[in-house]
Structure 1
Amino acid sequence: MTESSNPDTSPAEANLSESTPTQGATSPPPSFVKLAMRNMVRKGRQSLLHFGLTAVGFSAVLLLLAWFGRPSLPQ
């Protein structure tokens, strides 16, 4: 019986275990953080670009919120 037909594992878990080398029957599948880090290292330039765009966008949102939330000067 294969892992993908096991009702205790989801299809995502079955795909994760199939994409990693066999480490033994008792070892748990790699964590999502470990898989994300491995993917980020594999696609380094694209990951850095997306991180930079996210940082710029988040900073812009904070700046706009600070601008709109500033107290008005009395005249």
Structure 2
Amino acid sequence: MEELAGFVNGSVNRRKVLEILESKGATEPKRIAKIARLIPSAVDKIIAELEENKLVQKTDDGKIELTADGKTIIDYTRAL
């Protein structure tokens, strides 16, 4: 858990993407980029990293949503 927390907190933008998903629910990557004020390719890279760590997943309609682990890590990092 601490390793994942370090991974998330190691990047302001990773943290920002997770917080957007927490507050907005399943969201298209393009919308995430707009809200986070990041270029879409940067968001795509962040999403790939978060997916690799099983913190987010793609829905059938192409949106990105938090996994149970993603929700847990957000709560865990807030407690630090």
Normalising TM by the smaller chain, what interval?
A: under 0.3
Larger relative contact order, structure 1 or 2 (CA cutoff 8 Å, min sep 6): 2
Larger strand proportion, structure 1 or 2? Answer: 2
Structure of larger gyration radius: 1
